[in-house]
Amino acid sequence: MVKLTTLDLQEMLKLTSPFSIGVDDFFRRIDDVQRNNSQSYPPYNITKIDDEHFVIEIACAGFGKDNIDITVQENELKVIGDKENPNPERVANSHAIHTGIAARKWSRKFVLADDVEVGSASIQDGILGIPITKIIPEEKKPKKISIGTKKLSKEFLTEHGWGFNSK
């Protein structure tokens, strides 16, 4: 298996750009995904509910809804957690023996497909949930074909666009 580095993707982009239109955006997205996967905090899950519904869950203990900013722009979902001064009363009146709950600023980016929609986020028990729905246009959805009882005559086929040339 060959592992591509960021430099390899950038070089590939340089090589293909004179001969292609629109491929540069594809390589930029791959590069973005690779860069985002290099960080490990905060941990997250992406769960597939069914073929059209997904949920991104981000562990953000100690962060409330006022400390989290979620934006969607073009094909990017960006989630930022920031606490100016976490729990100032508790910190002022105590001496920490161990501090294991992180309160540092964090950021997560997710590259989105063109046909997804981000729903309203919710936070519960330190887990931020962001629903994602894949929108399938009607013309791409499977359609049921009814079975008729008419005999397939030349007139029937011509009438339904299956014309024959009888020369």
Question: Of residues 31 and 114, which shows the higher confidence score?
Answer: 114
* pLDDT tens, residue by residue, 8-17: 655 655 665 5
Give CA torsion, residues 77, 106, 26, 10, to 10 deg. Answer: 160
Tell which residue, 112, 101, 125, has the closest CA to residue 78. 112
CA separation (Å) from 132 to 121, 127, 142, 165? 10, 16, 21, 51
Q: What is the DSSP letter of 126?
A: T
* pLDDT tens, residue by residue, 26-75: 556 666 655 655 677 899 999 999 888 999 999 998 888 999 999 999 88
Highest mean pLDDT among 22-26, 57-61, 112-116, 143-147: 57-61
By three-state DSSP, how is residue 37 classified? coil
By three-state DSSP, how is residue 68 classified? strand
By three-state DSSP, how is residue 95 classified? coil
| Domains defined for the chain, CATH in brackets | 1-38 (no CATH), 43-137 (2.60.40.790)
